[in-house]
A = this chain, B = another copy of it.
Amino acid sequence: MAIISRDFDAPPGTSAPTLEVPEVVIDRLPQYVRTLTQLLEEGVEVTNSQQLGAQLQVTPAQIRKDLSYFGRFGKQGRGYRVRHLLSELKQILGLDAEWNVAVIGVGRLGNAILNYPGFNPDGFHLVAAFDNNPGNVGTEVGGISVQPMTALANTVADRDITIAIVAVPSAHTQSVVDQLVACGVRAILNYTPINAQVPDGVRVRSIDPVLALQSMTYYLAYQGHPTNGHQTTG
């Protein structure tokens, strides 16, 4: 393998690791952030790959390897300073910034999302809500005034919205996603059970509890064969 130059001396916010970091590594970083946050709250000042691995149920080697994509954050013989590693990882993930989020669809699910208090503490601010039902437009949901879909492009630009949460009826998913992409939104959290097609450069993550249940029933159905417990987060 060729020597990889990582340009960590470049101005923050403008550079990324030169060689692509595997997506599976990126997906683990938020979990590291969460565990480090917990340790910090417990007053733990120093940790190591062994301890982190035990908490997260991954091997210590994997944690060290994952971190090595981004730099050297520990000290041999000592481990990692929790506060420092946490701060670095948050910066890498862009979690030192605030993100403005739009919710599309204010039905039952959209309502629950807009009233869910769990996004704000992590820097995600629900700043706009849209619905194509005239009866919903103008109502207040979670303290936000619902706008018509026709206002999408302008509001996304005006309010610097970079992330959208889609909670519309399944039949509208692809159309809504297309509109979001056209407005320049490149990160979409999809609460509908539909696989939306997006162009390169746009990320979609789906929240799909039924899918999660449907893979677990496989193991319940074949109780005869002892299987290992396994935990998946998504």
Residues of A with Cβ closer than 8 Å to B?
13-16, 23, 26-27, 29-31, 33-35, 55-57, 92-95, 97, 99, 101, 108-109, 112, 115-116, 118-119, 122, 124, 162-163, 165, 186-187, 189, 193, 195-222, 224-234
Contact = CB atoms under 8 A, between A and B. Distances in A.
A67 to B, nearest CB: 14
Which of A118, A199, A216, A227 lies at the interface centre, i.e. has the most chain B CB atoms within 10 A of its CB? A216
A220 B186 contact: yes
A233 B233 contact: no
A232 B211 contact: no
Nearest to A222: B16
Contacts of A204: 229-232
Given A95-B214, A109-B116, A199 B233 contact: no
A210 B57 contact: no
A167 B55 CA distance: 21
Contacts of A207: 207, 209, 212, 234
Nearest to A228: B200
A201 B229 contact: yes
Listed from nearest, the 3 A-B pairs whose CB atoms lie closest are: A234-B234, A94-B221, A16-B222
The secondary-structure label for the interface of chain A is mixed
Nearest to A94: B221
> Which of A57, A94, A198 has its CB near the most chain B CB atoms (within 10 A)?
A94
A231 B195 contact: yes
A118 B227 contact: no
Contact of A195 (B94, B186, B233): B233
A211 B32 CA distance: 11
Contacts of A210: 30, 118-119, 122, 124
A174 to B, nearest CB: 12
19 contacts: A13-B221, A16-B225, A23-B230, A27-B232, A29-B215, A35-B195, A94-B217, A94-B221, A119-B209, A187-B220, A189-B209, A189-B213, A195-B231, A204-B229, A205-B233, A206-B232, A207-B234, A232-B234, A234-B234
B34 A218 contact: no
